Amino acid sequence: MLQHPQVKGPGVGLLGFSKGGEVCLAMAAFLKNITAVASLNGPVAATFVPFSYKDKFIPIVTLHEYKAKAIDSKVLDYSDVMDDPFQAPGNQSRIPLEKAEAQLLFVVGQDDHVVKSEYFATKLCKLLQAQGKENFQILSYPGTGHCIDPPFFPLYPIGSHPVFHKRAILGGEPRAYSKAQVHAWSQVQAFFKKYLIVN
């Protein structure tokens, strides 16, 4: 990417949603020249597929499908199926973001029913702060579920779970979600302009 003629450098920015946010965070933990990362409801642990880079290996966090809660006969709430990456045994799967040099922006929906994204982002930032790091910020939106799309995309509060392939509640309420879309995407752009554009 840095060799591409349209990339100004000296570093790159990464934007990812859900699993994509998780991958971006892992890249920031292990790769150089990552300047800024915006993670939208991304897990802070390896999910579904382990991470392997040189001599580093992060195993996947365990998911317990039996912990899914039935909302009705056709829709499940998966928010409690993942082991906590801040407590054993799930802590082996946490991405070591204390190693990241990049600026980190966590955009989280408080009504996310796929990942406990607000809890994970808050716990992670407290951990980073305790280690003297200040390279993070959280944007947290009430009434907003797992999907935080660009402005004017329609809300889809129910979808297919990416692992279990069953109907899952994603969360969100139309009015709050619409406001979050407009605000979050303007903040993401401002974040990248602040940390990537060299005058």
Q: Return the bridge partners of 16, or none.
A: 39
18, 39, 79, 93: which one is catalytic?
A: 18
pLDDT average, residue stretch 61-76: 91
Which amino acid appears at position 151 of this protein?
P
The alpha carbon dihedral of 44, 47, 53, 55 has a sign of positive
pLDDT average, residue stretch 123-139: 96
pLDDT digits (tens, 9 = 90+) for 107-116: 999 999 999 9
Q: How confident is the model at residue 49 (pLDDT cuts 50, 70, 90)?
A: very high
What pLDDT score does 1 carry?
84
Q: Return the bridge partners of 1, or none.
A: none
Q: How confident is the model at residue 199 (pLDDT cuts 50, 70, 90)?
A: low
What are 126's two structure tokens? 């407290």
83, 113, 117, 146: which one is catalytic?
A: 146
Q: Which residues contact 31 (CB under 8 A, 6 or more apart)?
A: 53
**Which phi and psi (to 5°) does residue 193 adopt?**
-60, -40
Q: How confident is the model at residue 95 (pLDDT cuts 50, 70, 90)?
A: very high
Residues across the chain: 199
What are 73's two structure tokens? 């006969």
39, 83, 93, 112: which one is catalytic?
A: 112
Tell me if residue 112 is catalytic. yes
Q: Tokens 């880079």 correspond to what residue? A: 53
